[in-house]
Structures are given as structure tokens and as C-alpha cells.
């Protein structure tokens, strides 16, 4: 088709940009990083023909209008790589530009012609015009220097025009002022959400504050919780997570062991939120007052801990919302309000919100206000109960809005659901997520699952938080394996994941009695009764937990999920894996006996390249759990682990110094 002369403009660009990574769902969702991270971006950038191309990475904070730039380096096969650092909380944008480098193309061809002994007088004039054009895009001293170069290329008296033309100084100066007019920019601006470092590396301890009274028979308080802070802090945790702290409804209240009929002394489940005393912005009167809660937040901060609150969007039938806003709940044909159900399970003490309510806008605003209320009381971390049973659109709207105002907010998604739903919630903005770790107990299952979490695009947006136990989940492995099983799962959680948590003190006391055979619920669950414990019980795992948390703090390799590598073992009951920092200065190798009953032995075969080791290089490994040291050589080494003593090695690689006089 002929284009009328009056409308002719530059032809469509010759540049193609594709295969940009990282990019989630064609740019629909952001990737995630923490402050100080380097974002590495790759893209395929190419054009027809054999011209030399230029490529750069554009990035900016979302609120800024001006782009910053970083050069991209050619990797071969039309692949390019660049990087930028994110140093502030919030959102960044990035994209890629490519263009034909006319000067670089000319320079490459000129070198070939000179090498072939051809006459290049005309080519030098072409080059002079290209340098002159670059001078027009430059200013000041650079423009003057470029014009001098152009005159030198045209000067008949210049005897070394080839040397002038191929000068590296000239090439570097022209590269500062490329002609991008006929270039192309990637069709999408991609996003990065930048969180604080605790979003990546955190260590959680969950406890019911009502269990913390030192006096038998008395309901624990926030003040009792303050007295508990040293216990938690000394074990090395940095997040103290409290189940719901709100008034508990009377209607449908559950008794011990989830009994439908509750006696007069039943305290009920904290997740049955709301009573005459208030709802989601009130505290249970037996715990204390809002002033007491603020005192707890401040005391925790002084102890190096942050308080995380449970955010459970559901109500007791006695919640003020039910009377004040019945339109926010789903009515049954008989006029009653629908209780929460997961057939055949029924939750007689809980009713869910109807996210399709005709008054959904007002309800959504109120639910967001609940988070803002607690942020106003010093809370910036929330564990969100069952987010997969609430509208996905609600979460995207609420989290985006909340994070815009509070970019240091951390939201942990407790969604034990289908993988796609779990991942979608992470894409929508949840900072961290519970995982299927609890149900992955074999070498094959653990390896496959963590390769998915850390070795695919999932790692760009999904931050796993590993929990060996929760108030709801006591896995069969823990029920049958006793104390060694808790040690195994504790080591795995602390070293496989940069973030992990335990429900205590049930975890460190290795409580493993289920409500009944085949159940994953605890007998005498803390969810339904006040259960104070003596912490000085023989065999407590407190020393092991303390040691693991110290190891995590002292070894940067364990503070990220990057560079997790699994290594071969000839015993299927061994799991061997490593983590290392980008520079290799810190490398941790973990070997775990997955059999909590029997001593196991075998050979591990290490991927030496992943550890930065040579085949004939002796190296020392130090077990950070007990201080033992071993000298290993090569890939294949023998390991023996007894669960009765310690079911794992957590080894730090410490290269042996060369002998005196040996070459460095």
C-alpha cells in the first residue's frame, strides 16, 4: 500500500523486544524484592539484518516521572542483561529499549574493510557524518570533542584516519549520545513491589496470650504476654504472632476439643469474633485494654520483636456487624444467617461475610478500616486467616490501597488451598504465604516442591513461610515420630526457608497427641481452652530452636531462598541441600535424616560447582549444631545421623588455607 507523501513519517521500527524476564503474566502482576536488592532484567532484543544494536534498561520509582537508565550487556544469541538497585519501599517500574547503533554498525564494517585492505575513503566520510550527528545530540565539551573527531575524519592531512575512526575513546563518546529515534521500547511497563527486609527473612512464634498467666486458672493478659517476651526473644524469634485478640461470641460457642455443646466455663475459639463488648477493633476484656495492648507492642519492639495480629474476616453471630449490617451476610430461606461451612464441617460459632453483598462497597471499606485501625496502634504485620474464601478482587483493591499508604506492611496469607489460588493471592499482593511444607515429608516430595518454589517464576512473587505445626495442623509425621520428628521438621523449616514459624509452646515441647486417630487436630487444642504450660519440661527443643535461629542470623546464605541447591544421596531417607550467598563467601550445607526413628548412613554427592569447590580441593565443614569439624575432599562424602542424638548436620563450608609456601 502506498502511503501518501503528506502523511509519511518514520517507518515502523525494525527492533523486536521479547522474552523479557522477570515478567509475571504479561506484566499483569509485579515481581517482589526488598530494599537493597538488585533487580536483574533480561530480554531478547534483535532486528533484521546484521546491524549492531544498542540496548538499555529504564527504571523509576512509580511516583517519579523521569526514567533512570542502566546499560544492558549482550549475552549472545540476541539476549541482553541489565540491572538496577531498589533502595526505597514502594513500587518501581521498569522496561527495555533497543535501537540500531548506526555508529557501531559503521565501525564494525569499517574494521572489516580495513582488515581486507579496501579503500575506505567514502566510509570515513560516512563516519564523520555520524559523529557530527552525535555532536548535535550532545552539549558542551562533549559536543566540541565530537566535532573535532568529525573534522579529523574529513581532514585530508590526517595520516592515521583508521586509527582515529576505530579509537575506543571515540566509540565511548558516541555511545553516550545514541540516536534512538528509530528505536523501540518494550510495549509494557513492568512493576516491582519493594518491601522491607523482614518480608524476605523472618522468624515467627505463635502463642495464645490467654495461656500465659503464671497463676493456674487465671486467663492470661497482655501484661502476662509482656512478661513472656524474653522467652520468645531469647530463642531468636523476631515476630510474635497472636491469634485473634477480640471479644468472643457466646452464640454457638465451642467447648474443649471443638465440642458443639459448650459448658458454662468454656472460653470459646478466638476466631469466633465479636460480642457485646465489640468486634474487630475491640480487645477481649480478659486480655486487658487497648492501652495494655499498646504497651505490649512497645515492649515487644524494645525486645527486638514485632507483634503480628490475626486478621480474620468473619464474625460470631453476636458481632455488632450482624445487627448493624445484616445486609453484609447471606440469609437462608428461613430467615437465618448462613453459618460458615466446609461440608461436612460446620462452624456453628462463625458466620462469613458475603463479599457479593449489594452493599459490598461499604463493607469492603469497613474491612480495610479494621487494618488501618490496628496500624494506628503500632501493628504492621498481619497473618490473614483463610484469604482464599474471600473475594480475590477485594484483596487486590485493599492491599494495593493499604500498601500505597503503608509500604512497610507485611501480610502473611494462610491459604491452604489449590496451588493456583494460593499463587494468585501472592500475585495480588500478599507479602508471604503458608505452604504445603507440612505435607511434604519425603526426599522426592521436598525436592520437587522447593525446586518449584525457588527455581521457577513462582520465586518472583511467592515468598514461602514454613510452619512445622499450627494450632490447626498436627501432621501424622509429628504424631508418630515423637521429639526427633519435631527436630527434623524444625531443622528443615529453619534452613530450607528464609521465613519460618512455629506454634508454641506446643512445638518446642513436642506435643503430638491428636484429638483422635486420623485427625490432624490437637487433643485439648489451644483453640478451645486455656492451656498454660510449664516450660521447663525435660527434652524441650528450646535449645535446638535457639541454636537454629542463631545460625540463621549469623549466616546470610540462610536469609534468602535464592541459590537453594539439592545434592544427590544414595540413601533415600537423606535430604541434602545447600544455600550460598551470591559471592560464595557464606555457604551452608544441610543433611537431614528424614527417618525420626532409625539411625541412617550413606554417601552424599555434592554439586561442587554450585558450592564453588574444585574436585581435588580439600575443605573443612563445621557442624553449627554441635561444633564438630570434618575435612572433606571431592564430591562424595560419608554421613551418619542418629535421630536420638541429632537428626541433621547444618554445615558451614570453611575452605582450608593453602600450606605455607603454596601458590595462592
What pLDDT digit, counting tens, does each position of 621-659 carry?
999 999 999 999 999 999 999 999 999 999 999 975 555
Instruction: Give percent of the chain above pLDDT 90.
Output: 90
Distance CA 79, CA 332 (A): 59
**First and final C-alpha spacing in the chain:** 69
Given 414, 460, 511, 526, the catalytic residue: 414
Distance CA 598, CA 644 (A): 8
The pLDDT score that the predictor gives to residue 91 is 98
The pLDDT score that the predictor gives to residue 611 is 93
**pLDDT for residue 502 is more than 70:** yes
Where does the pLDDT of residue 322 fall: very low under 50, low under 70, confident under 90, or very high at 90 and above? very high
Distance CA 228, CA 303 (A): 11
Distance CA 596, CA 239 (A): 29
Contact 491, 221 (CB under 8 A): no
The pLDDT score that the predictor gives to residue 337 is 85
The pLDDT score that the predictor gives to residue 663 is 44
What pLDDT digit, counting tens, does each position of 230-256 carry?
999 999 999 999 999 999 999 999 999
**Type and span of the H or E element at 633:** strand 629-633
**pLDDT for residue 338 is more than 90:** no
Contact 610, 552 (CB under 8 A): no
Q: Quick one: which of 111, 156, 154 has its CA closest to 130? A: 154
In the numeric block, which cell numbers belong to residue 22?
522477570
Distance CA 432, CA 400 (A): 15
Distance CA 432, CA 100 (A): 42
The pLDDT score that the predictor gives to residue 335 is 78
Where does the pLDDT of residue 334 fall: very low under 50, low under 70, confident under 90, or very high at 90 and above? confident
Mean pLDDT of 269-288: 98
Contact 351, 318 (CB under 8 A): no
Mean pLDDT of 214-229: 96
Distance CA 110, CA 607 (A): 46
Where does the pLDDT of residue 343 fall: very low under 50, low under 70, confident under 90, or very high at 90 and above? confident
**pLDDT for residue 26 is more than 70:** yes
Lateral strand order in the sheet of 465-466: 432-433, 410-414, 381-385, 306-311, 239-242, 202-206, 499-503, 465-466
**pLDDT for residue 661 is more than 70:** no
Mean pLDDT of 506-531: 96
* Residue 425 φ then ψ, to 5°: -60, -40
The pLDDT score that the predictor gives to residue 162 is 85
Helix runs in 408-475, H state only: 419-428, 443-455
Which 3 state secondary structure label does DSSP give 423? helix
Q: Which domains does the chain have, with CATH numbers?
A: 5-194 (2.60.40.10), 203-312+359-558 (3.20.20.80), 561-655 (2.60.40.1180)
The pLDDT score that the predictor gives to residue 8 is 59
Work out the angle at residue 191's Cα, subtended by the Cα atoms of residues 186 and 193, and round it to the nearest 5 degrees.
Answer: 165
The pLDDT score that the predictor gives to residue 310 is 98
Which of 92-106, 111-125, 293-307, 374-388 is the least confident region?
Answer: 111-125
Given 349, 385, 526, 529, the catalytic residue: 385
The pLDDT score that the predictor gives to residue 664 is 41
**How would you classify residue 312: left for phi > 0, otherwise alpha for psi between -120 and 50, otherwise beta?**
beta
Q: Which residues of 124-148 are buried (b: 16+ CB within 10 A; e: fewer)?
A: beebbebbbbbbebbeeebeebbbe
The pLDDT score that the predictor gives to residue 410 is 98
How much is the mean pLDDT over the chain? 95
What pLDDT digit, counting tens, does each position of 438-456 carry?
999 999 999 999 999 999 9
Q: How many CA atoms lie within 13 A of 427 on its CB side?
A: 17
Distance CA 237, CA 504 (A): 12
**pLDDT for residue 416 is more than 90:** yes
Mean pLDDT of 499-528: 97
Which of 248-252, 336-340, 402-406, 422-426 is the least confident region?
Answer: 336-340
**pLDDT for residue 189 is more than 70:** yes
The pLDDT score that the predictor gives to residue 166 is 93
Task: Report the 10 Å Cβ neighbour count for 252.
Answer: 20
Active site residue 414: yes
Mean pLDDT of 5-17: 79
Active site residue 616: no
**pLDDT for residue 9 is more than 80:** no
Specify burial of residue 334 (Cβ count, 10 A radius: 0-12, 13-18, 19+): exposed
Distance CA 62, CA 403 (A): 13
Residues facing 26 on adjacent strands: none
HEC letters along 511-538: CCCECCCCCCCECCCCCCCCCCCCCCCC
The pLDDT score that the predictor gives to residue 660 is 52
**pLDDT for residue 70 is more than 90:** yes
Dump the DSSP string for 69-127: EEE-EEEETTEEEEEEE--SSEEEEEEEEEEE-HHHHHHHHHHHHHHTT---HHHHHHH
**pLDDT for residue 662 is more than 70:** no
Amino acid at each position: 500500500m502506498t502511503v501518501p507523501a503528506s502523511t509519511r513519517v518514520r517507518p515502523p521500527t525494525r527492533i523486536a523486544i521479547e522474552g523479557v524476564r522477570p515478567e509475571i503474566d504479561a506484566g499483569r502482576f509485579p515481581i517482589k524484592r526488598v530494599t537493597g536488592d538488585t533487580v536483574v532484567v533480561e530480554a531478547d532484543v534483535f532486528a533484521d539484518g546484521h546491524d549492531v544494536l544498542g540496548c538499555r534498561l529504564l527504571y523509576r520509582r512509580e511516583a517519579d516521572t523521569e526514567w533512570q537508565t542502566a546499560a544492558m550487556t549482550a549475552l549472545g544469541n540476541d539476549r541482553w542483561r541489565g540491572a538496577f538497585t531498589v533502595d526505597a519501599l514502594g513500587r518501581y517500574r521498569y522496561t527495555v529499549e533497543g535501537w540500531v547503533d548506526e555508529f557501531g554498525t559503521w565501525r564494525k564494517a569499517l574494521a572489516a574493510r580495513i582488515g581486507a585492505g579496501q579503500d575506505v575513503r567514502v566510509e570515513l566520510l560516512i563516519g564523520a557524518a555520524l559523529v557530527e550527528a552525535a555532536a548535535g545530540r550532545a552539549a558542551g565539551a562533549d559536543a566540541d570533542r565530537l566535532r573535532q573527531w568529525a573534522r579529523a575524519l574529513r581532514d585530508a592531512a590526517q595520516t592515521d584516519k583508521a586509527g582515529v575512526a576505530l579509537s575506543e575513546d571515540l566509540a565511548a563518546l558516541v555511545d553516550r549520545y545514541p540516536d534512538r529515534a528509530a528505536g523501540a521500547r518494550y510495549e509494557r511497563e513492568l512493576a516491582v513491589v519493594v518491601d522491607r527486609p523482614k518480608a524476605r527473612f523472618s522468624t515467627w512464634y505463635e502463642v495464645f496470650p490467654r495461656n500465659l498467666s503464671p497463676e493456674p486458672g487465671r486467663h492470661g493478659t497482655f501484661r502476662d504476654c509482656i512478661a513472656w517476651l524474653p522467652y520468645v526473644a531469647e530463642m531468636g524469634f523476631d515476630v510474635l504472632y497472636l491469634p485473634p485478640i477480640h471479644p468472643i461470641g457466646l452464640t454457638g460457642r465451642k467447648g474443649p476439643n471443638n465440642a458443639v455443646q459448650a459448658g458454662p466455663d468454656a472460653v470459646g475459639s478466638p476466631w469466633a469474633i465479636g460480642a457485646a463488648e465489640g468486634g474487630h477493633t475491640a480487645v477481649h476484656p480478659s486480655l486487658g485494654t487497648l492501652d495494655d495492648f499498646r504497651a505490649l507492642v512497645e515492649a515487644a519492639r524494645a525486645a527486638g520483636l514485632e507483634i503480628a495480629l490475626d486478621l480474620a474476616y468473619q464474625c460470631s453471630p453476636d458481632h455488632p456487624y450482624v445487627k448493624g449490617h445484616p445486609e453484609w451476610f447471606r440469609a437462608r430461606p428461613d430467615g437465618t444467617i448462613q453459618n460458615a461451612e466446609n461440608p461436612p464441617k460446620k462452624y456453628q460459632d462463625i458466620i462469613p461475610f458475603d463479599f457479593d453483598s449489594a452493599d459490598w462497597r461499604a463493607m469492603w471499606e469497613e474491612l480495610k478500616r479494621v487494618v488501618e485501625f490496628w496500624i494506628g496502634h503500632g501493628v504492621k504485620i498481619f497473618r490473614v486467616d483463610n484469604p482464599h474464601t474471600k473475594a480475590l478482587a477485594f484483596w487486590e483493591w485493599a492491599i494495593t490501597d493499604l500498601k500505597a499508604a503503608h509500604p512497610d506492611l507485611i501480610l502473611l496469607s494462610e491459604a491452604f488451598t489449590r496451588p493456583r489460588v494460593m499463587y494468585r493471592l501472592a500475585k495480588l499482593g500478599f507479602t508471604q504465604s503458608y505452604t504445603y511444607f507440612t505435607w511434604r515429608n519425603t526426599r522426592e516430595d521436598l525436592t520437587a516442591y522447593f525446586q518449584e518454589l525457588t527455581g521457577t517464576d513462582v520465586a518472583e512473587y511467592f515468598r514461602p513461610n514454613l510452619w512445622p505445626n499450627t494450632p490447626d495442623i498436627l501432621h501424622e509425621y509429628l504424631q508418630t515420630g515423637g521429639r526427633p520428628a519435631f527436630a527434623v521438621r524444625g531443622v528443615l523449616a529453619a534452613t530450607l526457608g528464609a521465613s519460618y514459624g512455629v506454634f508454641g509452646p506446643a512445638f518446642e515441647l513436642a506435643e503430638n497427641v491428636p484429638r483422635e486417630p486420623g485427625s490432624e487436630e490437637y487433643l485439648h487444642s489451644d483453640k478451645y481452652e486455656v492451656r498454660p504450660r510449664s516450660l521447663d519440661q525435660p527434652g524441650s527443643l528450646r535449645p535446638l530452636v535457639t541454636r537454629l535461629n542463631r545460625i540463621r542470623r549469623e549466616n546470610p546464605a540462610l536469609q534468602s531462598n535464592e541459590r537453594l541447591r539439592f545434592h544427590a544421596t544414595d540413601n533415600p531417607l537423606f535430604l541434602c541441600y545447600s544455600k550460598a550467598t551470591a559471592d560464595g563467601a557464606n555457604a551452608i550445607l544441610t543433611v537431614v535424616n528424614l527417618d525420626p526413628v532409625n539411625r541412617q548412613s550413606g554417601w552424599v554427592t555434592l554439586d561442587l560447582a554450585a558450592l564453588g569447590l574444585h574436585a581435588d580441593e580439600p575443605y573443612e565443614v563445621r557442624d553449627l549444631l554441635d561444633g564438630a569439624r570434618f575435612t572433606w575432599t571431592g564430591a562424595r562424602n560419608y554421613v551418619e545421623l542418629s535421630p536420638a542424638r541429632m537428626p541433621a548436620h547444618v554445615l558451614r563450608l570453611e575452605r582450608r588455607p593453602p600450606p605455607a609456601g603454596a601458590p595462592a
